[in-house]
Structure 1
């Protein structure tokens, strides 16, 4: 079966296969309505099960060791933006200089960039909108990120002057570019992130897991789940809660301590003995 092959042979997640199923079913349903096929065969196919996702993440100590290996490379900003802000890959690459307000110390996440395969050809898709309404958000400009941005902006201007006509002007408004002005591509970010981790002996995680690392740090430092939802730009509170509820150990410990203090078996009064029955 196609779905089983995708999961077992290609390593595709159950969630992705679920999207396959929805698209195939919709397309065949439309074809049946247009009388192009006699009926929708996908209507009889069992819906794939969704994965119970458990996020991987780095601790604060691990991040402090990992971040320096990307310093002064074109991966420095993509890694910092994902680790500090939990940005999605498309949000990182789509970030433009106009989104950075150095005066008010604000970063606005308002657009995305993806490179997709259309009929065998890679096509750039830049959108002046985010994944969902909640993903459009403004966040404080963290000092360490601000310094990295200023350094990158200065270098970009220097490279424009140095390279002259050889410098690519197509992506001059974007933040994550190389020394020749070419945009740092999504595939490059994913591939090089993993390669650098392995090369330097770090536990491998996905680039997207930097987003989970950011969320875990917020939760473990008493930031509420609602605030984490707003920081990450999740469309609903339930999305945040479902993904990160297992991380919130401290609040569970507080609940456990409260219950233990209220129900203390060691302080139970002794059971009164019933009087002995008189024998007639």
Structure 2
């Protein structure tokens, strides 16, 4: 049973499966007691103070989901306006990166289309949604339309919940079939060539760690020195750095958690990587000393920073990686494909698939 600390109607960090979780307890707009668990990515060992600090920060920023009166009472609300109101309601219940994705889809795609058609929420039919999906399939891939459908379905499910409509018309729509995507991967020789051309660039460490450990972009950029144990020779994946577009502005998101529970893992620090990271640590210490007050101390502790301490951002990796390949005549792949390359090489060397997945 997780240990819980109660405070001001919300629970502090709870322990479950040897990890700390933030547990928020509140009453929703209907007066019902709700509990929200959020993974911190922090192991129980020696992380109590960090977990408590995360709790305080989350409680400061947490807003109890409310139902705007105009949604509850206005039966004549347009579907396009309802989608915007739903976006407001759901903002406080999801991660910022998820909200950024919802906002982009709702404000740029769904709302403009339905606003032109002036369809009320109560009059929305499955055929209206099907027409929307069919039109979108003419300009984007099926996977994108599936995301549109997911947003609409969630919003309409909420409308049913608060008694604005009796049934969810999105339940009656044929969802597009998902596109099959096959990622590319590099051979051992290609990986060797890539690590050589990346040496000395800002992409060196991201490429090295993604290739040898199969880390995601967010995991590589989120690595901190306190996750590297040079005595035990281990590397712990527990922090991520991502980027989101909120209200047209790029926002850097730093979080003590990974994509899934299985993403929180400890990996062996192999000698070549260990040596390179020790060298990198020494280089960063030198740069920090030479730059003095000019050094950016906001990102102290991160592995992937430049000479003056600026963190290497996700969009930089995505933009510069293909340019690096093209400039040096290497076959084009995505940065994420280095993860597939790692898995392929491990399989080729007899490592069981289950072990690779873990």
TM-score range for the pair, normalised by the shorter chain length? 0.7 to 0.9
Query: When the two structures are aligned, how many residues end up with a matched partner?
Result: 228
Larger Rg: 1
Q: TM-score, normalised by structure 2?
A: 0.60
Q: Which runs of 5+ in 2 are unaligned?
A: 1-130
Give the aligned partner of residue 193 of structure 1: 321
Taking a change above 3 Å as real, the CA distance of residues 169 and 214 of structure 1, as seen in their structure-2 partners, is same
Q: Select 2:170's aligned residue among 42, 50, 65.
A: 42
Taking a change above 3 Å as real, the CA distance of residues 39 and 120 of structure 1, as seen in their structure-2 partners, is farther
Larger relative contact order (CA 8 Å, sep ≥ 6): 1
| Structure number with higher strand proportion | 2
CA contact (8 A) 1:21 1:48 kept: no
CA contact (8 A) 1:109 1:137 kept: yes
Cα distance in 1 for residues equivalent to 2:247 and 2:147: 19
1:83 Cα offset (Å): 0.1
Give the aligned partner of residue 214 of structure 2: 86
- What is the DSSP-based 3-state SS (H/G/I as helix, E as strand, rest coil) of the residue aligned with 1:178? coil
1:164 Cα offset (Å): 1.2
CA contact (8 A) 1:58 1:213 kept: yes
Q: TM-score, normalised by structure 1?
A: 0.76
Give the aligned partner of residue 242 of structure 1: none
Taking a change above 3 Å as real, the CA distance of residues 20 and 193 of structure 1, as seen in their structure-2 partners, is same
Cα distance in 1 for residues equivalent to 2:277 and 2:333: 25
Superposed CA RMSD: 1.9
Give the aligned partner of residue 183 of structure 1: 311
Q: Select 1:133's aligned residue among 244, 252, 261.
A: 261
- What is the DSSP-based 3-state SS (H/G/I as helix, E as strand, rest coil) of the residue aligned with 2:186? coil
1:194 Cα offset (Å): 0.5
1:8 Cα offset (Å): 5.4
CA contact (8 A) 1:70 1:76 kept: yes
1:5 Cα offset (Å): 6.0
Q: Say whether residues 1:22 and 2:167 are aligned partners.
A: no
Q: 1:43-74: CA deviations, max 9, x gaps?
A: 33211212323221000011111111110111
Q: Which runs of 5+ in 1 are unaligned?
A: 231-280
1:36 Cα offset (Å): 4.4
CA contact (8 A) 1:17 1:48 kept: yes
Taking a change above 3 Å as real, the CA distance of residues 105 and 3 of structure 1, as seen in their structure-2 partners, is farther
